[in-house]
Structures are given as structure tokens and as C-alpha cells.
Structure 1
């Protein structure tokens, strides 16, 4: 199995810089959102997305993890991303404090693995029913889990955007890792909180159900912009296809990068593919 996909990113109506990064290929879908208020968010998101995508496009003999162990591959790739940010701060101390969310789904053609840190999200649409695959690592989600506020109160909470876990140069948080039971015909959405802070799950589900994937991506971003567009917004939609996964040597020709990722000036180390 493999992904067919569409991906777009928009700076929004308020921000001057797009700190989101998105990657989509037949084997990997990914969204990273540079943490707002911290320095060099675009460097953090682009570099982490680049590390993850570069490793996914490289034969995995350089990783300790066995290629058949998707969760171990994802965990080791995230650890490499943490090291990249630490090296980036060591090179330029003005980047101290930079951090990013990360949500990624990787497939080897048979299995699907999810890695998640922060408050970007992954959703599954199956037979018209939308379900959330990730849990936000935020202060307000903690309050919801403790029963101190309701899910309906999250959107208006003053600490809505306070993240409790991220990929940063300082604290090496463990990602949430899970194997996903995806099937041919499923549709998945990975997105930054520039979408989910402004657009309800009902509206997200309607858009994913009613339009082809390219139209769905465009419609979701348009909905976020019409709701105020106060943040960068990135959406990656992937349809699970029953076709064979492309060989390593061909995957790079079918990949799409959006947001801060395609700008080489945002990368800490453009030589990561060789290092990986």
C-alpha cells in the first residue's frame, strides 16, 4: 500500500512568516509547526521535517532500527531530529528556544506507523466517519483529561496554545508512537493548529468527505482563512492506495514539500541526507 496525496500551506492573514512545514510522499506524510513565540520556528520545523523525510528516503542501513520495525525507525528518526536542533543552537545561540511540533505517518507498504509530539493533529476518515488519531500535548488537553474543563471550552481558553511537549534543542521529549490499522480507501489528514483552532471537526469531516483530496486541502485552508487566518495553516491529505510502494530510488520524484521546508535557508544542515 502507499499514499496518494495533496498538500498545501498558507501563511495566514496575521503572521509575516510561515513557520509550518509539510511533506508528502507515497511512503510518508508529515506536518511540523514551529512553536510560536520562540525564535527560529521556521528553522525548527523545516529542519525536523527535512531530517525525517531525508531518513525516510534513504536505505535504512545507517539506522540501528530494523527497517521492519516502523516504530523503532520513527523513534530513532525523531532522536536524530532532536540532535539536529541541538547542533543548530550550538552553531547559532540566537536560535536558543526554537522548537516545533511533529506529526508523521510512515508506511513500509504493509504497515503504518505514527509519531506525534505537540498539537498538530492526524485524523482518519473511514466510510464517512472522522476520528482523531492523535492527542494534543497541551495544557488545555491536560485540563480536559483532568475533568477541569470541557472539550467545548478549549477553543476560548487563554492558554489554548501552551504546548507541553515538542521537538526542541533542550528537552528531549518522547514521541507518542503507534501502529495504525489503515486500509485501502481510508483518508488521513495531518494538519497544524492553524486549522483546528478555527475550524470545527464537523466542518473538517464534511470537507474531507465531499471533495477530492486536492479540493479538500484547498477547502480546509480556505475555511481557516475565512475564520480569521490568525496563524499559519498547513494541511496534508493522504488517501491509502492498494498499489505497490515505489522503490527507494523513485520515491523522491513523487514528493511534495510545502511551507518553510522548501527554503534551503531554513535548514540547519542541508547535508542531512548524506549523514542519515
Structure 2
């Protein structure tokens, strides 16, 4: 039996101490990790995030072994099509949108897809690297040298996302090919975590030996630090192991299929 790259994971989504409902969704499996965060202030964020997570995970499970970057890009566009259908079916959903951060491996090649500001990090040999790049107004201003890191952290506009998966525009995710190695540890999380925890804190907590302990401590630390948002955390170790049939854990709003626009419409993509 061939040995391939896979993820061993622990994952949790918490409504938090301020919000009354969870608009985060996620999925963690041996080949796919993803977090989707319904855009704050928009209608039906839980519908957008749950539908997007459902589409991406369904694609990954239906097409094992396909080129990860291309599959994630196609899935993001299909999620957009589902949100278009969702708004057409219920105009009260107008404006719904979500972030998407996903890591997919075919066992050899791995890719990150990024839309919005949910983040992905890599811990390798004790050093933490942020893999994703926030698609926010504040990040654009920071990249252009118009504000400092300190000003960015305090900006009232730091949650204004410049790109999202919605019903208005076909998304073009940033795709980054990843050179993952056995022994790497990945963290995917919503901004309910990164709004309140520094990179140094994440590095320390992610370095805990047990994945379950790292997940629990990151969620607890975010809540104790005053996070006012939903908190979703996936901690995954990269391993070499014999190939297995993929399944996974659904998180947050994605657990309730009533939040998915049309599960029956998600069928295998012939072009994948």
C-alpha cells in the first residue's frame, strides 16, 4: 500500500461569549482542512459559510487525487453559484458572504486557497509562519506602507474584507502551493482567534504536544482574551501514512444541513 501525505487533526468551533449564533463553519479530514467565516454584518452569514464548506468538502471527497489548487478554485466558484441560487430562492439572504481558507492535499502535492481573512499557519521545527495573507482593507494599507503594524492592529476598519465568496462576483481565490513535510503542524482559524491572540501566543500554544490540548488551549485563550466573535480552530499534523478513504468532521454552522442552500445540487464536477 502506498504511503501518502495526510492530516491527523483536532478541531473545534465555539459560538463564543458574545454572539448568539455561530456563523463559522469548517471541515477537517485526512486530506482537507477548511474554515469559512460568515462576513460580519451581512445577512445569513451562516448560510454562506455552511454552503461554502459543504461544497468544498464535497468536491474534495468526490475527487480524491485531483490537482489540489485547481480543485479548490473550482469549488470556490461553485460555492458562489450556490450562493447566487440561495439569494434567488430567498431575497432576505441578499448580501450574504463568507471567507474561505482551505488546505487540500492529494497525498503528494498540497495547496492553500484563500478568500478573505481567516488564516492558516505552519509550525515547523518550533517556528511559526503565516501561510495566508489577509484580504482586508487594513492589510492593503499596511502592504502599501500607509499605516504601521500598530495602527493596523487598532484600526476600526480591520474587519473590512476586500474579497469574499458571495452572490455578487465570481471569486478568484489566492492559490499557494505548499511544500508540506511530515512533522509539520498546521493551524487554520477564524478571526475570532487572531483578533485577540498574537503570533507569539499562537506559536506557544500550537507547540503543545497533543493536538487536542493545543486546540482546547487556543479556543480557551481566545475567549479569555475577550474575543467578541465566533472562534473556530483546526490543528492538524502532517504525516506519511498508507492512503485511506477520506471522511471528516464538520464544524459550526455546517453541522446543520438546513444552513446549506441545496445539498442535492452538489454533484461531481466532470471538469475537475
User: TM-score range with shorter-chain normalisation?
Assistant: over 0.9
* Corresponding residue SS for 1:78: helix
Partner of 1:21: 25
Partner of 1:144: 142
Partner of 2:196: 198
User: Matched residues in 1 for 2:183 and 2:150: separation?
Assistant: 31
* Corresponding residue SS for 1:210: coil
Partner of 1:107: 105
- The answer to whether the aligner puts 1:59 opposite 2:63 as a matched pair is yes
User: Matched residues in 2 for 1:167 and 1:192: separation?
Assistant: 15
User: Matched residues in 2 for 1:82 and 1:244: separation?
Assistant: 34
Partner of 1:48: 52
Q: Does the CA contact (< 8 Å) of 2:50 and 2:254 recur in 1?
A: yes
Partner of 1:180: 178
Q: Does the CA contact (< 8 Å) of 2:38 and 2:48 recur in 1?
A: yes
What root-mean-square deviation, in Å, do the aligned CA atoms of Structure 1 and Structure 2 show? Answer: 1.2
Q: Does the CA contact (< 8 Å) of 2:59 and 2:71 recur in 1?
A: no
Pairs within 5 Å for 1:239-254: 239-246=237-244, 250-252=245-247
Q: Does the CA contact (< 8 Å) of 2:77 and 2:171 recur in 1?
A: no
* Corresponding residue SS for 1:154: helix
Could you state the TM-score of these two structures normalised by the residue count of structure 1?
A: 0.93
Give 1:150 deviation, angstroms. 1.4
Pairs within 5 Å for 1:1-276: 1-59=5-63, 68-246=66-244, 250-252=245-247, 255-274=248-267, 276=269
Could you state the TM-score of these two structures normalised by the residue count of structure 2?
A: 0.94
Question: CA deviation digits over 1:189-214, x for unaligned, max 9?
Answer: 00000000011110000001124111
Give 1:160 deviation, angstroms. 1.0
User: Matched residues in 1 for 2:29 and 2:95: separation?
Assistant: 30
User: Matched residues in 1 for 2:26 and 2:250: separation?
Assistant: 6
Q: Does the CA contact (< 8 Å) of 2:7 and 2:31 recur in 1?
A: yes
Q: Does the CA contact (< 8 Å) of 1:138 and 1:162 recur in 2?
A: yes
Give 1:274 deviation, angstroms. 3.6
User: Matched residues in 2 for 1:179 and 1:153: separation?
Assistant: 31
Question: CA deviation digits over 1:206-264, x for unaligned, max 9?
Answer: 00112411111111010110011200010011100111231xxx312xx1111100111
CA 1:148–1:13: 2 relative to 1, 3 Å:
same
Partner of 1:63: none
* Corresponding residue SS for 1:271: helix
Question: CA deviation digits over 1:30-61, x for unaligned, max 9?
Answer: 0000001000000000000000001111137x
User: Matched residues in 2 for 1:35 and 1:57: separation?
Assistant: 26
Q: Does the CA contact (< 8 Å) of 1:26 and 1:245 recur in 2?
A: no
